[in-house]
Amino acid sequence: MRTQLAAAEALRNDLGSRRPLTEGEVERMRQEFAVEYTYDSNAIEGSTLTLRETALILEGVTIGEKPLKEHLEAVGHRDAYEFVESIAAHLPLEPITIRLIKDIHFLVLADRPKDRGAFRNAEVRILGTSHTPPSPYLVQERVEELLAAWPLDRHHPLDRAARFHLQFESIHPFIDGNGRTGRLLLNLMLLQSGYLPINIKYADRRRYYDCFQAWDDHQDSEPMTALVTEYAARRLHDWLAAIDR
């Protein structure tokens, strides 16, 4: 794992030393990523929108045969991602707080106004796993403990982000929107560490779920770290290839 982490870090450093892309090139790649990221992240959570339908909705087009809920999910995720980008651009770096987590969730859950930006007040189960998230009265405490411990984690930034993601999803602090919010927080951490944001593909969802199972069963974070590192390296390769072209 150390070799993969070191390789990703070398790519990050290489990108930082290269001739930058033009503003137009950066914006085009950013928009393409935002659409694909919104599609895949929502698809993992059950959205039936295609990539093309997602792109059209984000351009303001209504897809008649698709429910309003999925339109709102697409727009909400896009808005939440743009918010994360703006937070990542702040200097000095803005700490991750409960207020920030709730603000991201508020944007994500555009289709459920009564549940937006609020920790759950009900017990939840994560279907298909043996893991039981903490009771509602413990959620605030568990998130506070996670946020207090995270700055003290001296692991590699990619490993730290992966470990945070696993622990956040284990808490499952919201009644809905935990996966999308968690992946946005993961990307905020990557951006603040000088990496590009990643898009875990819908096609990779089984491997993604297996990472959580490894954590639930054995507190093993390496599968998630490997997945995050591979995606991070892939995105850096894409940007370096674009610069070379």
Active site residues: 172
**Max avg pLDDT among 13-27, 34-48, 116-130:** 34-48
Please report the pLDDT score of residue 8 as a whole number.
97
Residue type, 105: H
Q: Which of 5, 15, 50, 7 is nearest to 242 (CA)?
A: 15
What tens digit of pLDDT does each residue of 122-172 get? 999 887 777 899 999 999 999 999 999 988 889 999 999 999 999 999 999
Structure-derived torsion over alpha carbons of residues 44, 237, 158, 33, reported in degrees to the nearest 10 = -40
pLDDT over 90 at 49, yes or no = yes
The radius of gyration computed from the CA coordinates of the chain, to the nearest angstrom, equals 18
What's the rounded mean pLDDT across residues 42-51?
97
Average pLDDT of the chain is: 95
pLDDT over 90 at 112, yes or no = yes
* Cα gap 193→183, rounded to integer Å: 15
Domains annotated on the chain, with CATH: 2-244 (1.10.3290.10)
What tens digit of pLDDT does each residue of 164-212 get? 999 999 999 999 999 999 999 999 999 999 999 999 999 999 999 999 9
